[in-house]
Amino acid sequence: MERTLSSVYASMGGLDQGMHQQHRDQTGSFYTPFEVASETVLIAAVRRLCFLYCADPDRVRRCLEKPGSDPQPAEQYFEAMLKWYVVDPAGGDGVFAFAWLSLLENLCHVLEKDPQLLKEAAERTHLFDLQPEPVAHFKHMVASYFNLKPGKLGSYTGNVLDTALLFKSSPVSEVLALGGYDLVVGNPPYIGEKNHKDLFDEAKRYPFGAAHYEKNMDFFYYFIHLGMALLKAGGVMGFITTSYFFTADGAAGLRKAMDQNGSFVDLARFEGGSLFKDAAGQSNVIFHYRRGVQEPCRYVEVPAKSKTTDVTERWRQSSSVIWLNRNQIVSRFGNFYFSMHPGEPLAIEELEAACGKTFGEVFQVRQGIVSGYDRAPEVGVFVLTPEEVLSLGIEEALLAPFYKNSQVKRGKVDLEVKYYILYIPREVEDFETRYPNAYRHLSRFRDKLSKRREVANGVRPWYGLQWPRTAALFEGPKIVVPHRALNNAFAYTDQPFYGSADLYYLTPLVGLEEVKPGNTTNRGGLSQEDLLAVSLILITEIYEFWLSVRGKRKGDVLELYATPLRQMPLPPLERRDASYLKLKTLAVDHYRRFGHLCNDDLRAEAGEVVFNWLGLSEAARTTIYDYFETKQAKPIQKRRKHYE
């Protein structure tokens, strides 16, 4: 086999595999696969060349990958790249440095240049690391490959946060005096502050560490700050990190500094888990950032693992690509968002910030009844048709009207009684003698009913419901919503409305059991009228948008489970603003006249009031309108199939 730098690196092999897990965690040493480092370095080089030669990125990339196809610019690029200063500030065993020199070696070979030229590039490729062994190993391998003295290769071993020392050391001081590095590449250590307090305490002892410290930060943020400090204007940083710093509270200062000092030029998000086999639960991104220049960013979503292609191939071949400008990335609150649907995360963020509260802070979200045995194949057990109730002679005192979740539509419940439930929440004294017909009916299923877990545990009698909840929940005023729906199918009702666990019941958190039909207020201060107003707010397009984008979804079907319902934003009802009072009037008037809120004009009017109340920007409104326009343009035949 021909001896090349990549084969030399492959032959080194053992550093990563031999590492003890504890040491790995403590130093954040998850080494990068060579192919991933190569792709990262290639993109960094392409972006640097684009800047220097005002060239098209695709053309530059083709030139570097197939220099023979366009030799003239390829030679020009090669000459320039030989002079670049390149550093990996968390160098480890030097995979990025090897990848960079391999890129040059390949160009040199195809363009039939003198391999001796590469020596100069090797001397300009620097490695920093806390650990002396991998750095020494790297230098030894590269020096012997190029027949250089190891001392000719630039490195720094020690804590890079001690920038007073680092920036004065050779060769770093010389490079900084020339303006800085052309490329800063690497995979800095990801170490959270939790459980690693000592590490951060030590970092804070250095002025650089103290200046960039943020509560709840990750250690790799320091390396991004360092990268910005090391880069020359127009230089490119290419780092593998996690994506948490886009929105994490502990990265607000980092985001501000990044936004002020340059812009992302390329970002790849790797879906479905970590790039590194031993770093569980990470969501990785590889970003390229240019110092000093604002420009659009190419965003790629790399699909989750497939059996056929490796990660680099998936990255190269992904067809989920979009160009984003700064306004689509940086929100007005300073968070970063990368999305194939730019605008949506920004609108969501605005909406949540304007609301200030979550629904779960003001409302209880509870599931309906679990009987443990609704119906046997031929006949109802707890859930009976009106005909079955009659023929079995079930005692009326035990019966409550029972509704299917398909009887809840946006703004309206269908009160036609198609079923009754035998509502037996607890032990009934003399059940057999007081309710002989119900007793006889349920006795037919006694064996199976007795096997239900709560019955076996002695929590419920064999003839009782497994999870009955409370009658007040079903009897009083409430908002109901099916657990799956094609839209935000919330509906208010003050009628008895018993349903099963595929329905959710939303009631005010405080004093909810006290709300009885006819009472206008409860102790929590939310009246029936408030509930009506809230149900009108929940059926507006704004909520459909939030639930579609931020909530859970399977295809076009919204999964309206407890968690997304509790996480929904809720406007400040307690302020009793004019907009809120208007919504209340709209809801109450309409409900009094028609007994429901299912009306397109009402919904549209309420949507406008909520928009104005929350003071959403024009951009957010446009995003929301566009969202529904696109959705309406889609054929809905298929979507309807299962849920209507």
Query: Residues interacting with ligand SAM, by CB under 6 A?
Result: 27-32, 88, 90-92, 95-96, 128-131, 159-161, 186-187, 189
Comparison of 206 and 613: residue with beta carbon closer to ligand SAM: 206
Could you tell me if 359 and 571 are in contact, meaning their C-beta atoms sit under 8 angstroms apart?
A: no
> CB of residue 273 vs ligand SAM: minimum separation in angstroms?
17
> CB of residue 199 vs ligand SAM: minimum separation in angstroms?
8
Comparison of 90 and 141: residue with beta carbon closer to ligand SAM: 90
User: Using alpha carbons only, how large is the chain's radius of gyration in Å?
Assistant: 32
Alpha helices in 4-116 (DSSP H): 5-12, 14-17, 21-27, 34-53, 57-65, 71-82, 95-110
> CB of residue 64 vs ligand SAM: minimum separation in angstroms?
21
Comparison of 236 and 485: residue with beta carbon closer to ligand SAM: 236
Could you tell me if 240 and 99 are in contact, meaning their C-beta atoms sit under 8 angstroms apart?
A: no
> CB of residue 93 vs ligand SAM: minimum separation in angstroms?
6
Comparison of 110 and 311: residue with beta carbon closer to ligand SAM: 311
Using CB positions, name the residue nearest to ligand SAM. 92
Residue whose C-alpha is closest to residue 363's, from 514, 562, 546: 562
Query: Angle, nearest 10°, between helix axes 219-230 and 252-261?
Result: 20
> CB of residue 96 vs ligand SAM: minimum separation in angstroms?
6
Comparison of 111 and 176: residue with beta carbon closer to ligand SAM: 176
The span from the CA of 420 to the CA of 382, in Å, is: 8
- Whether omega for the bond prior to residue 171 falls within 30 degrees of 0, making it cis, is yes
As beta bridge partners, residue 402 has: 419, 498
Comparison of 99 and 583: residue with beta carbon closer to ligand SAM: 99
> CB of residue 162 vs ligand SAM: minimum separation in angstroms?
8
* 40 contacts: CB under 8 Å, gap ≥ 6: 32, 96, 99, 185, 238, 240, 286, 288
Comparison of 39 and 129: residue with beta carbon closer to ligand SAM: 129
* 378 contacts: CB under 8 Å, gap ≥ 6: none
Comparison of 88 and 541: residue with beta carbon closer to ligand SAM: 88
Residue whose C-alpha is closest to residue 588's, from 533, 526, 518: 533
> CB of residue 10 vs ligand SAM: minimum separation in angstroms?
14
> CB of residue 305 vs ligand SAM: minimum separation in angstroms?
20
Residue whose C-alpha is closest to residue 581's, from 520, 529, 544: 529
Comparison of 187 and 284: residue with beta carbon closer to ligand SAM: 187
Query: Angle, nearest 10°, between helix axes 95-110 and 132-146?
Result: 20
> CB of residue 126 vs ligand SAM: minimum separation in angstroms?
12
Residue whose C-alpha is closest to residue 264's, from 337, 169, 156, 179: 337
DSSP line for 604-639: HHHHHHHHHHHT--HHHHHHHHHHHHHHHHS--HHH
* 391 contacts: CB under 8 Å, gap ≥ 6: none
The span from the CA of 47 to the CA of 53, in Å, is: 10
> CB of residue 32 vs ligand SAM: minimum separation in angstroms?
3
Comparison of 137 and 357: residue with beta carbon closer to ligand SAM: 137
Comparison of 157 and 599: residue with beta carbon closer to ligand SAM: 157
DSSP 8-state symbol, 307: S
> CB of residue 16 vs ligand SAM: minimum separation in angstroms?
7
